[in-house]
Amino acid sequence: MYKIEKLNELAKKVAEKRPENAVLEPRRMTAEEKDALLAEFHPDYKQDEFTVLSAGVNKGEKIPTQLADLLQGKSRVDVSKIDLSNPDYDTDVLIIGGGGAGSSCAIEADNVGARAMIVTKLRIGDANTMMAEGGIQAADKPNDSPLIHYIDAFGGGHFAAKPELVKKLVTDAPDAIQWLNKLGVEFDKEPDGTMITTHGGGTSRKRMHACKDYSGAEIMRTLRDEVINRGIPVVDFTSAIEIILDENGKASGAVLMNMETKEILVARAKTVVIATGGAGRLHYQGFPTSNHYGATADGLILGYRVGAKLLYADTLQYHPTGTGYPEQIFGALVTEKVRSLGAKLVNIDGEVFMHPLETRDVTAASIIRECTARDKGIETNLGKAVWLDTPMIEYKHGEGTIEKRIPAMLRMFGKYGIDIRKEPILVYPTLHYQNGGLEINDRCETGVENLYACGEVAGGIHGRNRLMGNSLLDVIVFGRNAGIYASEKAKNTDIPENLTLAHVEKFNRELAETGVASDVLSPMLLPKYARK
Ligand code: MEZ
């Protein structure tokens, strides 16, 4: 039975063992051990949480049940009532999503001289980019190279990523850092201006560039300012609810819905970029999430209905260290940087049960094993969790390190009376990232002409598991590329004519024929528990 006094008592064991644990070098798992661990404990391997798609381009493939319901759900558009002949907006590049990828895309489109417009269901910056804490990877130090970065990322993703995408990710990375630096991102630097870099799980070199533990917020702040300062139009509180095609099957705009008035609007565009982010608010398998409020997989639905293929949509990332206690911040991100700085994961007996910087899927599965099969978890009012020994950071690196390097963590727990400099914290995996998404090539093109995707909604960059810091990197690298390629394509495209939503009707027919048509409205737009 959970009691706060009991937690305090158990925390003493962690403190007692700290000197011994601090110098311990836990061994890395072998490939065979990792495979066996994942198969038994990682949520991606729980077969009864998945189903097989009955309709659309990925028919016959495995998919999380909640996502299948949305992919095969009911369109929000009554095609017979929409007039596509008189658009409310006309632009060259329509960007759906106002996070890091959408904003980077808009800035590069503007650089190329295209007319870009962002449409976002919340506000620009209400996105997972804003929530990322620990940093962004780039191989820009003398002991590192894009090739080494490639090997880390490709291996970490179980060799499943599309090689040309990983190549693009790692080769464009150093320039992405310089681009952000010039835009005004305040990276952590030594007094001589050298960027400070640290390790993340699965990195063989220190290549994590950070802005304390506000990395995503700082990057998003800068991108948002840039979009606004350039006067790029942003239509906020407006969601895209269906992609529009032209008579030749090319993406030519989107049906929009004002989130407040529910007014339906039409945006016509020469090219369309989906940059809608992730899906944490679907709470797969009942997990809490570190994601922002709007992360409801919308882009996957928009793309799928129009015929864009999904790749690895059955693989999710459960960040090993979601907050396990207190309940007000249950599932909130405890950045991997805490472990990069030296904190170790400890069980109820005060034992370090694994190397703290294994890849995320392996670390999450290890924690789940500790709390289930090994019964070495610590009981809270919300379930089981393990200790993350945060005071070990200052034990190793001296007083003041936590405030200097991870002030967001200090504040987040401080609000609930927990001083992470003095007490260990409780953590358990939280739904953090969709590893797959809409399949793209290295020009961010989906299989549908004039339809692009970038950021978390895109699939193939990370294979079946993403490393820390490769997401902030991917939103910048692929966001910028989407902006460049979608604008170039728009330059050579005439204003689309004879806009159509016939594909929506066709998809509805397919659903009816296969007998899986459901009444679940999709895209979902807001989580189930949103206030009406
Ligand atoms: O890349 C991420 O997901 C990230 C930086 C998260 C974190 O632990 O801080």
The whole model's pTM is what?
0.97
* 334 CA: nearest ligand 1 atom: 8
Sort strands 208-209 and 136-137 into parallel, antiparallel or unpaired.
antiparallel
pLDDT in the model for residue 4: 85
Q: Ligand 1 atom closest to Cα of 135?
A: 5
Instruction: Find the 242 Cα to ligand 1 centroid distance in Å.
Output: 31
Q: Does 531 qualify as catalytic in the annotation? A: no
* 136's tokens: 């962004």
Question: What is the per-residue pLDDT for 68?
Answer: 96
Nearest-atom index, ligand 1, CA of 470: 1
Phi then psi dihedrals of residue 333, to 5 deg: -70, 130
Dist. CA 129 → ligand 1 center (Å): 10
Q: Which of 207, 339, 355, 405 is catalytic?
A: 339
- Contacts of residue 307, defined as CB under 8 A and 6 or more positions apart, other chains included, come to 56, 57, 249, 447, 448, 503
Among 68, 51, 79, residue whose Cα is nearest residue 522: 68
Q: Check residue 233 and report its DSSP letter.
A: -
- Is residue 198 within 8 Å of residue 340, measured between CB atoms? yes
Q: Would you list the domain boundaries of the chain?
A: 4-41+320-430, 75-130+214-315+435-503
Helices (H), 386-466: 391-397, 401-405, 407-414
pLDDT of the residue at 516:
87
Q: How far is the CA of 210 from the centre of ligand 1 (A)?
A: 10
Among 169, 215, 318, 319, name the best residue to mutate to test ligand 1's pocket (greatest count of ligand atoms within 8 A of Cβ): 319
According to DSSP, the residues that pair with 89 across neighbouring strands are 267
What number does the ligand 1 atom closest to the CA of 467 have?
1
| Rounded distance between C-alpha atoms, residue 118 and residue 100, angstroms | 12
Q: Is 509 a known active-site residue? A: no
Beginning with the edge strand found earlier in the chain, give each strand of the sheet holding 310-311 in spatial order: 310-311, 437-439, 458-459
Determine whether 407 is exposed, middle or buried from the number of CB atoms within 10 Å of its CB (0-12, 13-18, 19+).
Answer: middle
Q: Whose CA is nearest to atom 3 of ligand 1?
A: 468
Q: Which amino acid residue places its CA nearest to atom 5 of ligand 1? A: 134
Report which DSSP code applies to 458. Answer: E
The tens place of each residue's pLDDT in the chain, 532 residues long, gives 567 889 999 999 999 999 999 999 999 999 999 999 999 999 999 999 999 999 999 999 999 999 999 999 999 999 999 999 999 999 999 999 999 999 999 999 999 999 999 999 999 999 999 999 999 999 999 999 999 999 999 999 999 999 999 999 999 999 999 999 999 999 999 999 999 999 999 999 999 999 999 999 999 999 999 999 999 999 999 999 999 999 999 999 999 999 999 999 999 999 999 999 999 999 999 999 999 999 999 999 999 999 999 999 999 999 999 999 999 999 999 999 999 999 999 999 999 999 999 999 999 999 999 999 999 999 999 999 999 999 999 999 999 999 999 999 999 999 999 999 999 999 999 999 999 999 999 999 999 999 999 999 999 999 999 999 999 999 999 999 999 999 999 999 999 999 999 999 999 999 999 988 888 999 999 998 987 6
Q: How far apart are CA 131 and CA 334, in angstroms?
A: 11
DSSP assignment string, 2-67: --HHHHHHHHHHHHHHHHHHHH--PPPPPHHHHHHHHHHH-GGG-GGGEEE--SSTTTT-EEEHHH
**Atom number in ligand 1 closest to CA 472:** 1
Ligand 1 pocket: which of 218, 361, 468 to mutate (most atoms within 8 A of CB): 468
Q: Which atom of ligand 1 is nearest to the CA of 215?
A: 5
CA atoms within 13 Å, Cβ hemisphere of 401: 19
- Please identify, in words, the CATH class of the domain defined by 4-41+320-430: alpha beta
| Pocket of ligand 1, beta carbon within 6 A | 132-135, 333, 335-337, 468-469, 471-472
Do the Cβ atoms of 152 and 129 come closer than 8 Å? Answer: no
Place of tokens 């200090």: 410
Nearest CA to ligand 1 atom 2: 468
Distance (angstroms) between ligand 1 centre and the Cα of 463 equals 17
Distance 213 CA to ligand 1 centre (A): 9
Distance 405 CA to ligand 1 centre (A): 15
Ligand 1 center from residue 470 Cα (angstroms): 8
pLDDT the model gives residue 1: 57
State the catalytic residue, choosing from 158, 319, 432, 503: 319
Fold annotation for 75-130+214-315+435-503 = FAD/NAD(P)-binding domain (3.50.50)
As a whole number of angstroms, the distance between CA 518 and CA 523 comes to 13
pLDDT value of residue 518: 80
Ligand 1 nearest atom to the CA of residue 321, by list position: 8
Cα separation, 14 vs 205, whole angstroms: 29
How many Å lie between the centroid of ligand 1 and the Cα of residue 528? 26
Tokens at 59, concatenated: 């028919």
Q: At what angle do helices 163-171 and 173-183 cross, to 10 degrees?
A: 40
CA 198 – ligand 1 centroid, Å:
13
